[in-house]
Amino acid sequence: MAVAVAAMAAALVRAIYFTPAERLQGLAQKIFYVHVPSAWVAFLAFGLTAIAGGVWLFIKDPRLDRFAESSAEVGVIFTTGVLVSGPLWGKPIWGAWWVWDARLTSTLFLWFLFLGYLVLRSAVDEREARARYSAVVGILGALLIPFIHLSVYLFRTQHPTPVVANTAGIQMPGVMVATLFLSLGAFTLLYIALVRQRMALAAERDALLDASTAES
């Protein structure tokens, strides 16, 4: 966790003090270095949730279910970051806090889907049934991720197309690209640290439940 926090601090300091402001958007564009890494980690978290759930359906390893649960929970946190940072960036650029375009609306829907995933987990007591239902919901929810990524190409939308993962090549100065990749690495480290801690809590919870069941 200490490494992740240090990397986050380094990324934010570089973004604020050592990366120039974008010529047209000004200082508001610096939210980019929080918004995009948050989206990357959210998609990573939900994608891994789906993979872990899918593998659990075949081998029934409880560690996979704990990982899926932890990753989904952290993914919801980062998606919340996306939904908060997006309007903060959009207001000075678009003149509106929110527009119901395809990418924004589908990202909000993804957030609701995985919030429902967590509610489902809390509502089902039987461990294997909970893992099975959650795996199915996680897989179905993750199918929305490619749609969100492609939505700016499939629909007319105010959301800009990618400036790095673009068929036309990278459309940013090198110093901004370096800051972006530093932020992506820092946010990914934070995701790993949070999931590890959340999995440790889940393992302790399951051990206590097993001990309580054995005593009764």
Q: For position 30, what pLDDT does the model report?
A: 84
Half-sphere exposure of 7 (CA within 13 A, CB side): 19
* Ranges of each domain in the chain: 28-161+176-204
Q: Residue 198: pLDDT band by 50, 70, 90 thresholds?
A: very high
Q: Does 211 score more than 60 pLDDT?
A: yes
pTM assigned to the model: 0.91
**pLDDT averaged over every residue in the chain:** 87
Selection from 33, 38, 50, 32 nearest residue 146 by Cα = 50
90-148, pLDDT tens digit by residue? 788 777 777 888 888 899 999 999 999 999 999 988 889 999 999 999 999 999 999 88
Write down the pLDDT at residue 95: 78
Alpha carbons 171 and 169: distance in angstroms, whole number: 6
Token pair of 15 as six digits: 């973004």
